[in-house]
A and B are shown apart, each in its own frame.
Chain A
């Protein structure tokens, strides 16, 4: 861990996160980013837009995947975390001093919170794989998470307020030409930002998004990798992926998707700061990261966030998941906590699409970087790309239509092969998930068994969950929400070696 100290704050920064410092008349700024080779330009660009007359930095200019800590000369502190921040950021007050950390100190003997863990259930339930943003509780009783898309202020050694970083500047009508210009400029900006990258890996899915992620100056040292499935609904995928790799002039290797099914366990421990549904797909992430490590790739390009930016009405309210968690596995007290968390989340202003908090889930990024060396990168968490997507949503609203990727097909057609522009549509993974339950049901049930004592302490029935897993494994038409959520919780607990309540201390 790197450390930075001032009179009022201790900052702990994990090795994967790069940091730049700048002093100014009113205080000191720390710019944090996961993108080591981009941080200088990003930090400079941010600081160059500061208004010297203003007391605080220009928060709105912060890149969505980065964070900024501003320590004022008067001792007040403000922390901005981008809406798609690529790393965690937590805080606690300790005897009047503030502690900030990019990692939750799970194994340092700090007391756990039962409510915090049940809140993680709500997060995993409602936000799917996204980091929870509606509430700030964490599994550790004394630590709070900084919200994404927000500036959090502290004064006099105490929390002062939180403010949303509003990004939507398109409150007026926009023209189609304007939107096209913004989209093109945003991708040109992204392309320029990747000019220093040497060896890289692209996940060639054969979609718009990953292909646009590959629109970088040099692809000479780029390799493609695709997960392939032998199922009916995937029968056209192989051809599109092949044509995409040819168009990009990159070699491509295939991974057997069946080996990377959801719920396949990772071969190395995955210790996320908090439980995340993303772990269900961690084997896939690991396979791609290993592939990248084999070729000493600096970057793994993906198209994550493309659908959320360009095929979603960013001016609409987020509906979150459709199949809500059922009260079945909970005891009454536990269900009360979960229900309250669900209500709070549904009414939360911190998950509005226009602030960009539901674009990209970066939880595996730090793990991939620290375990395998490569940095995951998508263009769709870039501020400029997101702003162009907001403009696209605005234009679509004016026309009374739902956003789709025609804007990408039309404006960036020179970056996309015909096979993608003319592809039939997106393949559905429902069948893959159901097959995964068939194959993995005994293993999932065993994992639940391992943490049975913890589940009982939280007020959750392991028997109920195991029954549901086997029902899904028999092709029964049941919701898998509860299994998804508690798999995330169980794997998180077990990865940190917490299987019994006595393994950790608890908040009184």
Chain B
């Protein structure tokens, strides 16, 4: 299916909480993109959950990391690559990073899948594999000269949906520290992570982006 023929349903998300071992719980609120440490009774209060952007209906006891392996890391790829739309994708990568403090992650994912085909419909043609997408992400990070999990996850998701692939965005925590990580999995594989580390982070929130046929 060519990319121009797809639409994506972005409403499929799930979340869980992590026990902090002292009667508190960690949860991730997508509305403000923050990690919260709350007393157990507050962590189940529907009103508070709504405020931070979580719905009881999407709560699940355990979230399992959809990714079982990383396809490419910085050592398995050469940085030279003839990349189409390199400048635009690098710009998008910087945009994702620059807006992280005021645009919610889920909303930005939605923006990513909308703008990707407009910005560069040749970057990830239909049928692109997770490996192809990983190589593009690596090339973009080489071009920008720095790497961060947040824009990487969004760029990966944008490329996946542009290629007509289902993908899952995950926000995880290295509990009980405040260290967070974002990654995007396509068919159980993270296309590119410079140094594989997603498996250390316990998933708190997941958003599945699923292509559907244009009506």
Contacts and interface: CB of A to CB of B under 8 A. Distances in A.
Interface in B132-185: 174-179
A475 B20 contact: yes
A442 interface: no
A23 interface: no
B195 A430 contact: no
Interface in A383-440: 401-402, 404, 406, 424-425, 427-428, 430-431, 434-435, 438
B179 A425 contact: no
B75 A233 contact: no
B202 A232 contact: yes
Contacts of A425: 195-197, 199-200
A474 to B, nearest CB: 8
Interface string B1-35: 00000000000000000001110100000000000
A322 interface: no
Given A406-B75, A435-B21, A236 B199 contact: yes
A169 interface: no
Nearest to B203: A232
A51 interface: no
B52 interface: no
Contacts of B70: 424
Contacts of B174: 233, 428, 430-431
B176 A475 contact: yes
B200 A427 contact: yes
Given A425-B196, A428-B200, A404 B178 contact: no
Interface string A474-491: 010100000000000000
Interface in B37-68: 37
Contacts of B202: 232-233
Most buried by B among A232, A402, A438: A232
B35 to A, nearest CB: 10
Interface residues of A, number: 18
Contact of A477 (B24, B178, B195, B199): B178
A475 B37 contact: yes
Interface in A263-286: none
Contacts of B75: 401, 404, 406
Q: Size range of the interface on B?
A: 20 to 34
Contact of B177 (A236, A402, A424, A431): A431
Interface string B187-215: 00000000111011110000000000000
A3 B62 CA distance: 65
Contacts of B21: 435, 438
A424 B176 contact: no
Nearest to B26: A475
A480 B118 CA distance: 47
A233 B176 contact: no
B58 to A, nearest CB: 21
Given A428-B200, A438-B21, A232 B175 contact: yes
Given A404-B75, A406-B75, A475-B37, A435 B176 contact: yes
A428 B175 CA distance: 11
A424 B37 contact: no
A475 B179 CA distance: 12
A34 to B, nearest CB: 35
A430 B179 contact: yes
B196 A431 contact: no
Interface string A227-246: 00000110010000000000
B199 A424 contact: yes
Most buried by A among B20, B176, B200: B200
Contact of A434 (B24, B176, B196, B200): B176
Nearest to A401: B75
A401 B73 CA distance: 13
A406 B70 CA distance: 17
Nearest to B69: A424
Nearest to B194: A402
B181 to A, nearest CB: 10
B199 to A, nearest CB: 5
B164 to A, nearest CB: 29
A429 to B, nearest CB: 10
Nearest to B200: A233
Contacts of B22: 438, 475
A430 B74 CA distance: 23
Contacts of B196: 424-425
Interface string B67-98: 00110001100000000000000000000000
Contacts of A424: 69-70, 196, 199
A232 B21 CA distance: 13
A115 to B, nearest CB: 36
Contacts of B197: 425, 428
A25 B62 CA distance: 76
Contacts of B195: 425
Given A406-B75, A424-B199, A425-B197, A431 B176 contact: yes
B178 to A, nearest CB: 5
Contacts of A438: 21-22, 176
A434 B177 contact: yes
Nearest to A404: B75
Most buried by A among B20, B24, B37, B175: B175
Contacts of B199: 233, 236, 424-425
B71 to A, nearest CB: 13
A233 B70 CA distance: 16
28 contacts: A232-B200, A232-B202, A233-B174, A233-B199, A233-B200, A402-B74, A404-B75, A406-B75, A424-B69, A424-B70, A424-B199, A425-B196, A427-B200, A428-B174, A428-B179, A428-B197, A430-B174, A430-B177, A431-B174, A431-B177, A435-B176, A438-B21, A438-B22, A475-B22, A475-B24, A475-B37, A475-B177, A475-B178
Interface of A: 232-233, 236, 401-402, 404, 406, 424-425, 427-428, 430-431, 434-435, 438, 475, 477
Interface of B: 20-22, 24, 37, 69-70, 74-75, 174-179, 195-197, 199-202
Question: Top 7 nearest A-B pairs by Cβ distance?
Answer: A233-B200, A425-B196, A430-B177, A232-B202, A477-B178, A428-B200, A424-B199
Given A425-B195, A425-B197, 18 more contacts: A232-B175, A232-B202, A233-B199, A233-B200, A233-B201, A233-B202, A424-B69, A425-B196, A428-B174, A430-B179, A431-B175, A431-B176, A431-B177, A435-B176, A475-B20, A475-B22, A475-B37, A475-B177
